[in-house]
Amino acid sequence: MNLDKSTKRIAKRVKSGFQGYPQITLAYFGVSAECATEVAVGFTSEQGAEVLEERFYSKGDAKKDEAIQTTLLKVIERANAKTVIEVAGVSIIK
């Protein structure tokens, strides 16, 4: 799947807002606000449940990495996530 298609499908899921559980949370991290080198994917099965987390790393910008964006979409689909939340911006890694 190409990068544009993956990012649009993820954005569409994010825009739909809270729809219930299971929930996926996407958070981007990097050494600067312009380049995310890491993505944390949090999975919550139900309210109050422990958050399971997996991280993906990229040598470049993870938001523009086709393999990572396609993987994120597949994780969302396979988890049957009703809600997808994306933390705004890139958190700086110190």
Q: Spell out the domains of the chain, with CATH numbers in brackets.
A: 3-92 (3.30.720)
Q: Which amino acid is at 11?
A: A
Phi then psi for residue 39, to 5 deg, are: -125, 130
| pLDDT of res. 94 | 78
pLDDT of residue 14: 96
Taking each helix axis as running N to C, give the angle between helix 66-78 and helix 3-15, from 0 to 180 degrees, rounded to the nearest 10: 40
- Give Cα 21 distance to the centre of its chain: 16
- pTM given for the model: 0.91
Q: What is the pLDDT of residue 70?
A: 96
pLDDT, one tens digit for every residue, the chain (94 residues): 788 999 999 999 999 999 999 999 999 999 999 999 999 999 999 999 999 999 999 999 999 999 999 999 999 999 999 999 999 999 998 7
Distance CA 61, CA 20 (A): 30
pLDDT in the model for residue 92: 93
- Written as six digits, the tokens of 76 are 């969302």
